[in-house]
Structure 1
Amino acid sequence: MRYLQLCSLLLALSACATHSADIDVACEIDPQNNYLLKWETTPRIEGEVQIYQSTDPERFDTEKTPIKVASIQTGYTLIPDSIPSQRSYFLLRFNGHDDHIVGARAERLKYIENFRDLGGYTSKNGKQLRWGKIFRSGEFNTLTASSINRLKNMGIKTLIDFRDSEDVIKPSPELGLDNVINLPGALHYRQNLLPRLQKEELRRGDANLFMQDLYVAMVSGSKRAFKSMFNQLLVEDNYPIVLSCVNGKDYTGFAVSLLLSALDMPEEVIMNDYLLSNRYFDKRRTAFDPKDCCDGTQEALSLIQTADSRFLSYARDYIRQQYGSINNYLEEELGVTPEKRKQLKQYLLH
């Protein structure tokens, strides 16, 4: 009898150990197009992780046999991309009961820069941003058949495009988008920038000031575009949604920072997402080639092509100085009331 009681106690302690552990999971696509799943537990725990795969992050058939079972202690496993035409998500079940859903942050889509899923971020209240609901990206001007197929299978309904009208090329109708909404920032900064670069009139110090001025100009000069963006985000039938601009870095980066603020994401999460553009944006695929320019112009262009924490911090500090807080700016200038934020969280958090 005492032996049975001891076994029951050990099983209960094992279950409690998993529940009390903090578990972080991540997913990347390696150069061979395998999914690399990684996890870390604090404190370290033993046992197994069952892995289930789905193309719909809201639905996993856990009644079926998992596609793989791995030891928790290994900390990672590789999953071949068995469905190359579709984006996959994974449910990791630790010791039979502690579930974590994850997808690759970025997609490898030829000729599309900086395409990322915003899912998985955790708010200040412990809620997670749903995977597969909202994406951010560079422009969709050039698409291969495989990229079109993969994007189409994500079920994306709405593209919100922040490019100025002179930069806009409509995306391929093969994508099957329900809505293509152009919300130009109306700052025309590329038209002001390129002539100065071509004449080699811009140096690194000038570029820093130029970018800080651009981000501050977005705060006041692009309010109409950002207000319209939130109005579209409040239409449930619009999802999944992609937010896009030329490189998916500046207008899109600032717009996403506002969205994440409205969802009560920590400042660290907001900044880290912004800085990921440095990893997923290929500077070689820009409209201006600096190879024949002087060193000063090359340095200036390199800075302009970078997601620099100073740019976003400068704009967010400016908002706090002018409006008292980010929340005040969202509500008073963009019309994102507490009721609308609550609705947005219902759509995007769980």
Structure 2
Amino acid sequence: MAGAEYTLTGFDDFLERRHIVFVEPLPNTRICGICGVVPSRSVLLPCGHVLCQLCKGQIGEENPTCPLDRMMFEEANVVSVTFRQSHLEQHRVFCVAGGRKCGFSGKLCDLKAHLVKCGGDEAKCTKCQRYVARSVAVEHYVRCSAQTSARQTVSPTVNARAVQMLGAMKKDLERVRAWTSLEKVDQDAVVSGANILVECVANLERSFILEEAGGSEFSSLLSAVEKTAATAGPFRAASKPGIFVTTCEFRDVYDGCTALDEDEQNHIISTDTYTLAGYTFKLVCMFQKQDGEVVVSFSLYLRDGAWDDHVEWPFAKKLTMIISHPRDESKDVRLPVTIVNPKVLKKPPPETWNWGTWTTKEKWQDLELKGFVHNTNLYVNVEFE
């Protein structure tokens, strides 16, 4: 295919920075002598050279000189030139998609309509992975003897998981949108909801990446990634779609342990007050002496809050507390809590704390030795499902 290729600029959106091969070369007066583009607006210098507006703007105002022949000129002698698109479109061009494999050779004004139906460009066969013209893609596929590439097929496992995740993401998005429409916005709830959506997207993307790595390896690779994924610091994303999570901090936890003596068999410390999914609460950690060892357990106490009229009562969410390792998420200790006492689940009266329900007990020495304490602080993540 003969012709002259130019880059157009300053015309309509379809042509902007489009590389077009013209059947006949354009006049030099239409082409920037420096960068070679064909602009809609240019300038003609007294020496006869043409520059686009961008290149002209790079010439200094003091003693302006043509960059091509170093001849000085005065601005008063510079002529502005306009190349109307209606004139440009009368020039004949070749197809920009099919190239030599497409027989189109017509006016530039007809190119856009041609591209809609052009079959001269190439597509990769999903069987043999070779490129063929789209105009014969169906015939080639029928005759192709190669096997369908496993990479082009998404397994039912991934499809089912994608549908499930997208459904959960839709519910979470609707929930976050409802919160933002309230007169007072619960920032913690919005952040938690956003974290859930980010986690869903990441998991969905990871599923397809693993599937692309090989269908037979999908399950094993997914398990490996989930096992090795670790988060630096105590902060955690939701463990699965539809879960709210926040990080609570117990400060100066060693004081709770050293407070135990012969007379005091248990000692309690608590966190600040937090809000999650519209519920207001605090966590309490109890240090106890048991069989010559110190053990700890945790409890969540609900109280009245600004969003009590917008959440469900009695409290019906599944509660899990997670003792979070500050450096290795795989060491986290999950403590599911079963709540049945109505005094724990009821809507709290004004200025009142509900009762709490304790988790199972963990040996304090084990938590210390495994590095759960960071700068005298212990971190516990709370999940509402």
**TM-score w.r.t. length of structure 2:** 0.21
**TM-score w.r.t. length of structure 1:** 0.23
- Of structures 1 and 2, the one with the larger relative CO (CA 8 A, separation 6+) is 1
Larger Rg: 1 or 2? 2
